[in-house]
Amino acid sequence: MTIALALLLQAAVTVTATPPGPGQPPATMVVEPVAMMIAACDADGDGRTTAAELHACVERSFAAIDTGGKGVLGYIGFADWAERWLGDRNALPSPFEVDADGDNRITPAELQVKMAEIFRRLDRDHDGVVTRAECLTIRASVPGDRPGGKHKRRGAPPQ
């Protein structure tokens, strides 16, 4: 009888978990790590980064990592630079993009050239400054969304 009562009580206890809420919608605006750095190079705080401000900022950032004053960074040193200034060792631009002559060393000049190239790409209205709005990338859809609501596994055969 005691066992039957215990089983009956156990069966009567039901755990009801609250259903998960609709989570936050995926972001449609993102900022590349290098764009965040360029925005942070705004020395006078006017919300706009000029090419001169970027040049001085890149110079300071390189010197902060090149503590031995060699004037070059190896790929590991560049990863240290990326971690400190871009937030992650693997953030773009990669050392392979920056190392223009392929000698496995990055000079301040090579970094300046790559950063100036990125600056020009972000400067959408070509006025010589990058604004916070120009640093934003607006995505029309969320990664993984497919037209018609069909989600296909990578490598799956076509239907």
Q: Which DSSP category does 31 fall into?
A: E
- Contact indicator for 63, 80 with CB cutoff of 8 Å: no
| Separation of alpha carbons 141 and 66, rounded Å | 41
How confident is the model at residue 156, as a pLDDT? 52
Pairing of strands 48-50, 73-74: unpaired
How confident is the model at residue 152, as a pLDDT? 52
Burial class for 123, CB neighbours closer than 10 Å (0-12, 13-18, 19+) = middle
Residue-wise burial string across 1-36, b where 16 or more C-beta atoms lie within 10 A, e elsewhere: eeeeeeeeeeeeeeeeeeeeeeeeeeeeeeebbbbb
Q: Extract the residue ranges of the chain whose pLDDT is less than 50.
A: 149
How confident is the model at residue 154, as a pLDDT? 54
Comparing C-alpha atoms, which of 21, 64, 49, 45 is closest to residue 118? 49
How confident is the model at residue 128, as a pLDDT? 97
For the chain, list the domains and their CATH numbers.
26-139 (1.10.238.10)
